[in-house]
Amino acid sequence: MRITDTKFNADVTWKIRLKSNVNHRHLILHLNDCNEHLLPTMSILTRLLVAVLCFGSLKTHSVAESSQFCEKDGLKENCGETKEDRSTFSSSLGVRYLLYDVNPPEGFNLRRDVYMRLAIFMHEMKNEENWRLVLPPWGQLYHWQSSNVGEQTKLPWRMFFDVKSLQKFAPVIEMEEFLGSVQKKRPPIDEVYILQHYKDVWEEGKEWQDRWNIEGCIESIPYSKSGKAYTGPFWTYKNLSAQKVECASFQGHAALLKGILRQSRAKVVMIDHAEVALHDRYGDHIYWECRRSMRFARHLVEIAQSFRKQQLDSSDDKDMVKRPDNWLEEREYTTTGGGPYLAVHLRRKDFLWGRAKQVPDLQFAADQIEKIIKKLQLETIFIATDAPKHEFAELKTHLSKFKVLRFEPSPTLKYEIKDGGVAIVDQIICSHAKYFIGTHESTFSFRIQEEREIMGFQRNTTFNRLCGREEGIPCTQPTQWPIVFK
């Protein structure tokens, strides 16, 4: 409810927020001016409000809570801890929502990177405007090809990540919470901006500069007008549509999105092809805070722990790996241990033609693995791979002197955690090994290297890759990206 007295230049705003399961209310009074000498000129109601605020006879309540950004689960509201104060938000539109999507062919781990770009942007924006970043549901991705795991669409982030941990860094919510807040609004999305590269971006001699413009769409778009609203993919939700869809030629970092958002008065804005926006803070302490906040879902961590214990004789205590439950408590340290096994990520499928020169054949991969495991004096090899069963069996014959394992969940477990959960368990197991070897330019390997860097493994045990037969040995190894703490 908003009350403005025309005789007084104070704009008095009431906001009521009902706190779930608590039989009381938070009242906020905001005054642009507080001049006791003007009290006689005001109406009785306004005079009462100003007197209450100016003379302190009633204490106003901040909406700051120990749980600022919340994830709704059914009828319950489960909130993560945060030190931030919601009263610092200043948007005159109240809560606003930023949705985003990514080029459909992009994989799971590239999408995680795009999330970081948007999360860091929201982290920087949250003290200026009252935005919520809506986590896009996971859908059918290229590598999610299992036919016996049920439908792999509209999967919430909590299936794979600890959303409360994410919320300690940025104001993020699940899609279902967003839908619950705008379910009476049609169409739910006010504006969609499809990011596209400028036509002249690849012109020789063209000077790079951050820029954006609303322009005509260069390529066909998956949105079409149906009546008064636009329909489109929208993560396969049939009840989602948009009032307006425009293309924005975009060249620059994610912070440039601020220009698009601030020229709009829309409450719900969606950015499509968000991968076009570049990292603002790549490699600095803010980047690593965001990355550290991306803890995996607890049930997946427990599955990985069980496999390590039963199959690899590995546990955090035995391996001398330290990692506090809360990422905010992490400090820089060096881990000299690790599980008593060699971990290898061997990418196959699309990399056999996309990175043919850098991906080894199975025999050449086995030769390299055998050489390294003998040097490490280990006997067990864990393989994370998208190779079909017959290729994995062939690889094992080349490494018959050693114990070679991969994570193969039961049909029931695989149905529960889906292909994405299997991939994360693979990454967790690889990240705890004494030594890791990855695949050239694979984001799956990059994410493992980041996990190991966070846990403090020595970099010569982390930033390694298999060489292609055409390259020969040695080949160029991965760039090392050291972690940075504030």
Residue type at position 21: N
Question: One of 106, 275, 391, 416 is an active-site residue; which one?
Answer: 106
Closest CA to 378 of 397, 354, 405: 405
Q: How far apart are CA 70 and CA 166, in angstroms?
A: 11
* Residues forming beta bridges with residue 250, ordered by sequence position: 212
Q: How far apart are CA 145 and CA 138, in angstroms?
A: 14
- Do residues 244 and 193 touch, judged by C-beta distance below 8 A? no
Give every CB contact of residue 304 below 8 A, 6+ residues apart in sequence.
425, 428, 429, 432
- Do residues 155 and 139 touch, judged by C-beta distance below 8 A? yes
Coil, strand or helix at 471? coil
Q: How far apart are CA 410 and CA 124, in angstroms?
A: 43
106 assigned to active site: yes
Q: How far apart are CA 486 and CA 483, in angstroms?
A: 10
- Do residues 194 and 246 touch, judged by C-beta distance below 8 A? yes
- Do residues 341 and 378 touch, judged by C-beta distance below 8 A? yes
Q: How far apart are CA 193 and CA 214, in angstroms?
A: 9
Q: How far apart are CA 45 and CA 4, in angstroms?
A: 10
Residue type at position 341: Y
346 CB-side CA count, 13 A? 25
Give every CB contact of residue 482 below 8 A, 6+ residues apart in sequence.
453, 459
**Residues designated as active site:** 106
